[in-house]
Each structure stands twice: as structure tokens, then as C-alpha cells.
Amino acid sequence: MRPPAIPPKCGQCVLYTDSRMFCAQLADDEQVELSGQSRTLSMKRGDTLGDSAISCWPIVAVDSGVLSLQHLLQDGRKTITTLFMKGDIIDLRDLSNRNRGALIALGNVKICRLSPKIFEQVVANNPKAQKIVWHNLRDQAFRAIDHSADIAKKQALEKVASFVIECHHRQDTEPKNSHLVKIPLRRIDLAEYLGMQPETVSRCFKTLQKRGILEAKSLNLLHIIDDLRLQRIANGEKEPEIPKSPNAQVLKSA
């Protein structure tokens, strides 16, 4: 018996073609069933998935681009609380006060709105897919913790340095391009995410360039010249910790 044919839309989606992503872990029959009950969507900058859309499709997987979770405060102010990028799975089921926020595209974005029923079946029965989901949600939690610390404690230059490092860690780079990093959103959006003014964000990038830490290849493409100094700034000018050798001896003062 021939295996079911994979839908053409899946063959063009990184969630299926990248071996590290969720759909790449699925058997052919699982992929066909999930795809048949799910919906793809292309978004442009400013397009929004509001409460009604999230209620119908609460599980979203990002194929490309940057999707933001925008939180609406009681007094009407808005802020970007979270950024979702390629490969992220967003599970907003049973989220309280969902009408206070929305998922908003910060550029051209492709997403797949997954069927909650089929998604739950796959996660329950496919250990590899389950592992990818748990790792993804864990990474999102850690990024949220780091971001809250950045907002609360770090100065402007430290915040920008930390974000450059985050982008570098989250992107795929070949060895020959290991020091190139793409900043995938506009300065105005980055400023809102970091709790800063756009002018301050621009000054921070210029400062890092003047210090010989970064080189701007274009507005959104940077070359990290001195990653150790960049890390020190992100850590509050402290030297990055060097793991101790398990065989190292502890020197005691006389």
C-alpha cells in the first residue's frame, strides 16, 4: 500500500522540510491528517490575529517572519511582550484575558494554524513530536524570563546587546557566516519590545559600531566583530563566565 501523498503546501513549509521542526517528526499519515485539518495563512506587517481568530485557531506555528504578542493595558497603552520566529509553536488555548492581546505580524509572516484536536493526538502518540513541542515551549519560557530581567534591570546598551545575541542564537548560520546576524524587525518595533525610544535604539547600535563590536552590513544585517565584548556588555560589562574544568584544583590562600 502506497503511503499517503504529502500536501504540496507542506513541501514548501520549513516546519516540515527542516528536520529539527515539529512536522518533520510526523509519520506521513499523521502529516496528511494534520494538514487536512489545519490552515496556512500569509500575513503582512500590521495584520492581526485577534480574539475571535485565536479562539477558533489557538495553536499557531510560525513558518517564517516575526509574529508578536501585543498586550493591551487597561488604560489603552500597548506593548509587545513576546516575539515568535521561525519554528515557534504558539499555544494559546484556555488563555485568560485573551481579549487584552493579539498576535500581530511585524513584517511578512507565514503561519500554519493547527487543528487543536489533531495536534493533541500527535503530541500524545508521537514521542519525537512531543519532544519538539516541549523543547519549544521551554525555550519560550526561558526567553520570557530573560526578557523580563532585561526590561527590569538592564540599561539601554545592555538591552540592545542582549537582543543581538538572542537573534544570533535563534537563527541558522553556516560556519562561514557564523558572525553574521539578521535583526528581523524594524527599529520602532524593537524599541517597543525593549521599552525604549527608537532614537535610543539607533544610538545604541551606532555606539556598538563605534566601539568596533559590530559592523553594519545593511540596516538589518550585522557582523559581530567582537563577540566577547558584546557578551560583556549584555552582562553589564562583566566578563562572561568560563566553565571550570572538573579537574581544576581550588587554590586556598595561605
Looking at the structure, tell me whether residues 20 and 82 fall in a common domain. yes
**Residue 135 within any structural domain of the chain:** no
CATH number for position 184? 1.10.10.10
Burial class (CB in 10 A: 0-12, 13-18, 19+), 4: middle
Looking at the structure, tell me whether residues 114 and 225 fall in a common domain. no
* Final residue of a structural domain among 111, 127, 143: 127
Q: Which helix (H) or strand (E) holds 112?
A: strand 109-114
CA distance 189 to 22: 28
pTM of this structure: 0.84
Asked if 68 and 80 touch (Cβ cutoff 8 Å), the reply is: yes
**Cell for 6?**
504529502
Looking at the structure, tell me whether residues 121 and 20 fall in a common domain. yes
**Residue 1 within any structural domain of the chain:** no
**Residue 167 within any structural domain of the chain:** yes
**Total domains, the chain:** 2
**Residue 248 within any structural domain of the chain:** no
**Residue 168 within any structural domain of the chain:** yes
Looking at the structure, tell me whether residues 123 and 12 fall in a common domain. yes
Looking at the structure, tell me whether residues 12 and 106 fall in a common domain. yes
Looking at the structure, tell me whether residues 118 and 168 fall in a common domain. no
pLDDT digits (tens, 9 = 90+) for 201-224: 999 999 999 999 999 999 889 999
Looking at the structure, tell me whether residues 111 and 175 fall in a common domain. no
* Integer angstrom CA distances of residue 26 from 31, 69, 101, 104: 6, 28, 31, 28
Looking at the structure, tell me whether residues 15 and 80 fall in a common domain. yes
Number of residues written out for the chain: 254
Q: Torsions phi, psi of 67, nearest 5? A: -110, 135
Looking at the structure, tell me whether residues 17 and 115 fall in a common domain. yes
**Residue 80 within any structural domain of the chain:** yes
**Residue 180 within any structural domain of the chain:** yes
CA distance 33 to 126: 14
pLDDT, tens digit only, all 254 positions of the chain: 566 788 888 988 999 999 999 999 999 999 999 999 999 999 999 999 988 888 889 999 999 999 999 887 777 777 888 999 999 999 988 765 555 578 999 999 999 999 999 999 999 999 999 999 999 999 999 999 999 999 999 999 999 999 999 999 888 655 555 789 999 999 999 999 999 999 999 999 999 999 999 999 998 899 999 999 999 999 987 644 555 555 544 433 43
* Integer angstrom CA distances of residue 160 from 8, 55, 146, 219: 40, 34, 13, 15
Q: Measuring CA to CA, which residue among 169, 186, 187 is closest to residue 227? A: 169
Looking at the structure, tell me whether residues 109 and 163 fall in a common domain. no
**Residue 144 within any structural domain of the chain:** no
Contacts of 11 (CB under 8 A, 6+ apart): 17
CATH number for position 94? 2.60.120.10
CA distance 60 to 102: 12
Q: Which domain range does residue 87 map to? A: 8-127
Report angle CA 245, 250, 253 to the nearest 5 degrees: 155
pLDDT digits (tens, 9 = 90+) for 4-29: 788 888 988 999 999 999 999 999 99
Helices (H), 27-175: 28-36, 51-56, 116-125, 127-153, 156-170
Looking at the structure, tell me whether residues 122 and 158 fall in a common domain. no
Looking at the structure, tell me whether residues 89 and 12 fall in a common domain. yes
Q: Which helix (H) or strand (E) holds 70?
A: strand 67-72
